[in-house]
Amino acid sequence: MVLDWKFLLSPTLDPMAPGHRVGIVGGGQLAVMMADAADALGLGITSLAQVADDPIFSFGRQGFVGDALDLGDLRRLASDNDVLTFDHELVDYRVLAQLETEGVIVRPGSTTMAIATDKERQYELFERLEIAQPETVVVSDLDSAFEAISRFDGAAVLKTARGGYDGRGVLLDSSEAVVREWFPPGQTTVLVQRRVDVEIEIAVQVVRAQDGTMVTYSPVRTVQSDGMCSIVHIPAEIAPALQDEAMEIARKIAEAIEVVGILAVEFFVLDGELLVNELAARPHNSGHLTIEASATSQFENHLRAVTGLPLGPTDRIVSAAAMANIVGQTRGELQDHSFSPDVFIHMYGKTPRPGRKLGHVTAIADTTDQAIERALDTAKELEQESEMS
């Protein structure tokens, strides 16, 4: 990156003409899908990948392997890019703050990432904003964890404050032996939450530009299995008032944390009331279906926000859409019968591993039920293919 005086005085980016470059911290599927959107916008990308077989390299994209926590590697990423953004949250906001003092444009910025990478700070933020959330006790040792669990009548969910991803930092079983086995050693901060009787889970994507302009996607409904998102559909099929309220809360949070880029806000619906769960300040699994279902995808709008381009419309452009993750042992071969004009398969070019998200399928249809059925059928077919091969 060229450190010209403009950046040193004020780290803002002029609206970018095509040809500008975005450095993506991470090389996973989100980076791959951002790169696809970057092509359409005429933006270049470089990825700071974690390992040599990260998805970004399966698609011949530009990048290098390094450590997202290392100042030197991040400086290298910044050196040939105009702005840095994220594919994952395994970063240290203090290192990002250092880059900012050196004139690097980081979007979302270090203060936003400090919150987005830390469930304890999110808990404090929701308290401060008076947004309802599950009852929570923050602990850092096993005895206090057991105390909190008994306060919640034994029905609790435990979450590491930092470093959790794809359910790995979340324990849904609060029985004593399981908690003992799971509880991280050392001074790790853990949130103990009352396990709420979740009826429905939804997520809202809101995109905020540097000047504070925001666009919001209608809520999607998410279905989890084993703490990992398995199905997403739109419309969410919840009361319109609840949709509006969720979108309003998402905007309130986006403003409070001054995010530049996309923010996913996850909610539980319980007795017709919303409880906020957590945030992700990056494109999110719950927004993948925006590629086919919305006027502008979450990936394009994120890049628009971080590069200073005008935000695109978020309207739903299909009657209904559903996304199913493809999770499996080995990658299945795509069969002819998997192809349909209403079914879109996205493989991430990943080395298969048990429980790893290898891709996703989005189906569009007249109704959500049809879309879910089609997406699931195709995902299962691909997973079955993989088990047989």
Ligand X SMILES: Nc1ncnc2c1ncn2[C@@H]1O[C@H](COP(=O)(O)OP(=O)(O)OP(=O)(O)O)[C@@H](O)[C@H]1O
Asked if 41 and 300 count as a contact pair (C-beta separation under 8 A), the reply is yes
Interacting span for Mg ion (CB under 5 A) from 183-191, 247-255, 263-271, 342-350:
263-271
Asked if 347 and 296 count as a contact pair (C-beta separation under 8 A), the reply is no
Asked if 328 and 386 count as a contact pair (C-beta separation under 8 A), the reply is yes
CB of 279 to ligand X, least distance (A): 9
Interface map 97-136 toward Mg ion (x if CB under 5 A): ----------------------------------------
User: What is the crossing angle of helices 240-256 and 119-129, to 10°?
Assistant: 110
283 binds ligand X (CB under 6 A): no
Q: How far is CA 132 from the centre of its chain?
A: 21
Q: Between 75 and 194, whose beta carbon lies closer to ligand X?
A: 194
235 binds, among ligand X, Mg ion, none (CB under 5 to 8 A by kind): none
Q: What is the DSSP letter of 140?
A: S
Total residues at interface with ligand X (CB under 6 A): 22
Q: Between 154 and 313, whose beta carbon lies closer to ligand X?
A: 154
Query: Which CA distances in Å does 193 have to 147, 151, 196, 377?
Result: 12, 10, 8, 35
Give the integer Cα–Cα distance in Å for 229 and 280: 14
Q: Between 82 and 89, whose beta carbon lies closer to ligand X?
A: 89
- Non-local (6+) Cβ contacts of 177 within 8 A are none
59 binds, among ligand X, Mg ion, none (CB under 5 to 8 A by kind): none
89 binds ligand X (CB under 6 A): no
Site residues for ligand X, window 228-247 (CB under 6 A)? 228-229
Site residues for Mg ion, window 304-363 (CB under 5 A)? none
Total residues at interface with Mg ion (CB under 5 A): 1
* Residue tagged 């057991």 (tokens): 146
164 binds ligand X (CB under 6 A): yes
157 binds ligand X (CB under 6 A): yes
Of the residues 13, 37, 106, 170, which one makes contact with ligand X according to CB under 6 A: 170
> Phi/psi zone of residue 212: left (φ > 0), alpha (ψ -120 to 50 degrees), beta?
left
Closest by Cα among 302, 288, 290, 296 to 348: 288
Angle at 324 between CA 53 and CA 225, to 5 degrees: 95
Interface map 261-280 toward ligand X (x if CB under 6 A): -----x----------xx--
Binding site for ligand X (CB under 6 A): 134, 157, 159, 164-167, 169-170, 172, 193, 195-196, 198, 201, 224, 227-229, 266, 277-278
